[in-house]
C-alpha cells in the first residue's frame, strides 16, 4: 500500500514525536548565478532563491528565540509609524517572538496597531533634538545603552531599522546572524573608490580610497545583542571624538557604521532586497523587495536641512 507524503510525515511524527519537514533537495551545482551570494570572507549574502525560507524558519522556530527591533520616530517622523508597524506585522518575523522598542519624543503620537500575540511593543520617550543629523546619530548612543543592559537576557538578536520604511515582503530567520550588515540600495554596483565613505583623515570614520568592501546602509543593521552593543558603542565613541573637533562625518552614523564593518567584518550580509530605495524603482538583480524606504519630502519632514 503506497502511503502519501503526508501520511509518511505523520507516521514519522508519531514514531519520534518530531515533526519532520520535507523540502526540495539542495544542490552544490545548481543555483542562482546572476548574483554573488558569499563574500570573500565566506559570509552569506542573502538574496531570494539562494535559500529555503520554510526550512530556515523551521530550524529557528525550534530555538525559541526573541528578536528585539528598534525604531526611532522623532518630530514629524511619527507619521511613518503606522505603515511601518502595520506592514511589519504582515511580513517581519511572523510567528517569532519580537519585542519592538520604539523611541519617540511624542509617545501620544504612537498609533494603536494590533500586534500578533508573540509580538510586543515598548515605547520609550526620548528628548527632541533640533537637527535631523543629531537625531540620526544620537540613535547609536541610545542603542548602546539599550543593548548594554536594558534588554531581557532572553533576547538573542536585535535589528535596528529606519522608520521611514515599509515592508513589502517576508523578512525572516534567514536574516539572523552574529553581525549583520545590509547593502545600501544606491551603491551596490559601484566601485569602492566611488563609495561615499568619509574621506577626511581627521575624522574617525575615515576610509582611504584603496580600501572598502561594500557600502552598508545605516537604515538597517543587526546581529546578536553583544555584537550590536560593540558596534553602537564604537560608533557613539567615534562620533563623540569627531564632534569634539567640530567634525561631522559626511553621512553621519552611516559613515561610522561603514568604518566599523570594514574592520569588523559582518558574518552575514543582506542584499538590497532588505532595504530598497523605493517600491516603484525596479532593478534587474533585485527580484524581491522586502523593506523599502518610503517617499518623503525631506524639506517638509525634516526640521532643518
Residues taking part in catalysis: 254
Backbone angles phi, psi at 26, to 5 degrees: -70, 160
Element (H, E) at 109: none
Question: Please, what is the minimum distance in Å from the beta carbon of residue 221 to ligand 48C?
Answer: 12
Question: Please, what is the minimum distance in Å from the beta carbon of residue 65 to ligand 48C?
Answer: 25
CB under 6 A: which stretch of 73-81, 89-97, 140-148, 263-271 binds ligand 48C? 73-81
132 forms part of the interface with ligand 48C (CB under 6 A): yes
Instruction: Give, in degrees to the nearest 5, the angle at Cα 178 between 27 and 237.
Output: 145
Q: Which is nearer to ligand 48C, 85 or 173 (CB)?
A: 85
Q: Which of 57, 69, 70, 136 binds ligand 48C (CB under 6 A)?
A: 136
73 forms part of the interface with ligand 48C (CB under 6 A): yes
261 forms part of the interface with ligand 48C (CB under 6 A): no
Q: Which of 45, 67, 68, 74 binds ligand 48C (CB under 6 A)?
A: 74
Instruction: Give, in degrees to the nearest 5, the angle at Cα 240 between 237 and 242.
Output: 115
CB under 6 A: which stretch of 114-122, 129-137, 187-195, 201-209 binds ligand 48C? 129-137
72 forms part of the interface with ligand 48C (CB under 6 A): yes
Q: DSSP assignment of 149-213, as one string?
A: IIS-TT--EEEEE-SSEEE-S-B-GGG--SEEEEE-TTTTTS-GGGS--B--TTSTTB--TT--S
Question: Please, what is the minimum distance in Å from the beta carbon of residue 293 to ligand 48C?
Answer: 6
Strand 165-167 to 291-293 pairing? antiparallel
Contact 137, 238 (CB under 8 A): no
Q: Which of 36, 52, 75, 277 binds ligand 48C (CB under 6 A)?
A: 75
Q: Which is nearer to ligand 48C, 10 or 168 (CB)?
A: 168
CA gap 246, 228 in Å, rounded: 26
275 forms part of the interface with ligand 48C (CB under 6 A): no
CA dist list (Å): 117 to 96, 99, 204, 262 = 10, 11, 43, 38
248 forms part of the interface with ligand 48C (CB under 6 A): no
Q: Which is nearer to ligand 48C, 130 or 210 (CB)?
A: 130
143 forms part of the interface with ligand 48C (CB under 6 A): no
Give buried/exposed letters for 57-84 (b at 16+ CB in 10 A, else e).
Answer: beebeeeebbbbbbbbbbbebbbbbebb
The end-to-end CA distance of the chain, in Å, is 73
- Tell me which residue has cell 545548481: 30
Residue whose C-beta lies closest to ligand 48C: 162
Contact 157, 281 (CB under 8 A): no
Q: Which is nearer to ligand 48C, 94 or 303 (CB)?
A: 303
Taking CB under 6 A as the rule, which mask of x and - marks residues 181-220 in contact with ligand 48C? --------------------------------------x-
Interface size with ligand 48C, residues (CB under 6 A): 14
Residues engaged in binding ligand 48C (CB under 6 A): 72-75, 77, 132, 135-136, 162-164, 219, 302-303
Amino acid at each position: 500500500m503506497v502511503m502519501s507524503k503526508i501520511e509518511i510525515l505523520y507516521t514519522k511524527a508519531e514514531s519520534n514525536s518530531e515533526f519532520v519537514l520535507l523540502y526540495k533537495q539542495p544542490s552544490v551545482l545548481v543555483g542562482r548565478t546572476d548574483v554573488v551570494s558569499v563574500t570573500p570572507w565566506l559570509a552569506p549574502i542573502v538574496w531570494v532563491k539562494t535559500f529555503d525560507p520554510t526550512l530556515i524558519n523551521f530550524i529557528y522556530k525550534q530555538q525559541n528565540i526573541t528578536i528585539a527591533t528598534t525604531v526611532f520616530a522623532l518630530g514629524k517622523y511619527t507619521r511613518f509609524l503606522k505603515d511601518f508597524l502595520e506592514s511589519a506585522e504582515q511580513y517581519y518575523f511572523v510567528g517569532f517572538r519580537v519585542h519592538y522598542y520604539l523611541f519617540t519624543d511624542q509617545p501620544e503620537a504612537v498609533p494603536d496597531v494590533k500586534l500578533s500575540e508573540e509580538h510586543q511593543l515598548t515605547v520609550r520617550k526620548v528628548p527632541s533634538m533640533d537637527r535631523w543629523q543629531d537625531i540620526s546619530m544620537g540613535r547609536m548612543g541610545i542603542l548602546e545603552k539599550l543593548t548594554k543592559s536594558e534588554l531581557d537576557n532572553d533576547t538573542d538578536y536585535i535589528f535596528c531599522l529606519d522608520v521611514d520604511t515599509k515592508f513589502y515582503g517576508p523578512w525572516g530567520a534567514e536574516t539572523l546572524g552574529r553581525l549583520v550588515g545590509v547593502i545600501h540600495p544606491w551603491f551596490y554596483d559601484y566601485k569602492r573608490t566611488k563609495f561615499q565613505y568619509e574621506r577626511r583623515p581627521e575624522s574617525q570614520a575615515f576610509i582611504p580610497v584603496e580600501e572598502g568592501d561594500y557600502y552598508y546602509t545605516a537604515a538597517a543593521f543587526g546581529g546578536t545583542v553583544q555584537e550590536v552593543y560593540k558596534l553602537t558603542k564604537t560608533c557613539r565613541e567615534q562620533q563623540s571624538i569627531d564632534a569634539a573637533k567640530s567634525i561631522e562625518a559626511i553621512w553621519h552614523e552611516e559613515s561610522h557604521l561603514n568604518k566599523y564593518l570594514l574592520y569588523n567584518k559582518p558574518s552575514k550580509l543582506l542584499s538590497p532586497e532588505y532595504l530598497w530605495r523605493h517600491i516603484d524603482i525596479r532593478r534587474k538583480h533585485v527580484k524581491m523587495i522586502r523593506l523599502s524606504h518610503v517617499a518623503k519630502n525631506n524639506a517638509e519632514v525634516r526640521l532643518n536641512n
